[in-house]
Amino acid sequence: MLWKRARRVAVIRSSCFSRRHFFMGAGALLMLPSRSAFAGLQCSDFPGYRTCTSGVSIGGITAQQECSEWCWAACVEAIFAFHGRQVSQERIVEKVFGGAVCSPAAGPQIATAIDGEWTTDEDDEVFDAQADVLWDTQYGFGSQDAIAQAAQALAAGNPLILGAMGHATMMTAITYSMNAYGVQINQVLVRDPWPGNPNLRALTPQEAMSTQFLAKVEVR
């Protein structure tokens, strides 16, 4: 297992998420102060540009993977739990691989794991979930307004799954700036499922520039 430390955070470079190419190339990531609570999408206008922050407060929900390759499954489990639906990582993995094998997943497999009808572990409550992939560079797909869509999803109370440098995290907040020339990411806050990493942290600049997967998740 290889790792690289940045800002005292161990950025795990395991293969729990399939890696390829880059995502957020719209400027450097500027580290801004973290916010403990969010109220939808908030924007401020300045001469020549606008800065917006969007996020969702997830309370005591945590994401911690149960094997070295299940960062993606831990994120799905945490998002389901945020919406009040308890589903184990084992069941999420079994849906894709037919068994609880310790295996990484590519973007389409993560979407397959999420999509469809589910029942909760404890009381067999039925619910539906759907993944909407905004960006997947491994398969050459990306929405031009992915950042705006991500901000709107967070404002609506829906955390996202973000994959960068071979590791998936649950995205809970974003701050970005816009002007006539494009969009710059200022900060992305995530819940990190890797044991030993801070549960709540900001993406490092290297991670933000290397993000290759982003998906909205709706639970109904």
Query: Is residue 9 scored above 60 in pLDDT?
Result: no
Q: Find how far residue 159's CA is from the centre of its chain.
A: 7
DSSP state of 137: G
Instruction: Name the residue among 191, 198, 178, 213 with its Cα closest to residue 63.
Output: 191
Residue range 203-220: average pLDDT? Answer: 94
Instruction: Give pLDDT, residue 38.
Output: 61
In the numeric block, the tokens 């990484």 are attached to: 104
- Structure confidence at residue 163 (pLDDT): 98
CA distance 19 to 172: 21
Angle (nearest 5°) at CA 37 between 31 and 39: 105
* Banded pLDDT at 21 (limits 50, 70, 90): very low
pLDDT at 63: 86
What ranges in 66-141 are assigned the alpha helix state H?
71-82, 89-97, 107-114
Using DSSP, state whether 96 is helix, strand or coil: helix
**Higher-scoring residue by pLDDT: 172, 205:** 172
Q: Across all residues in the chain, what is the average pLDDT? A: 86
pLDDT tens digits, residue range 78-131?
Answer: 999 999 999 999 999 999 999 999 999 999 999 999 999 999 999 999 999 999
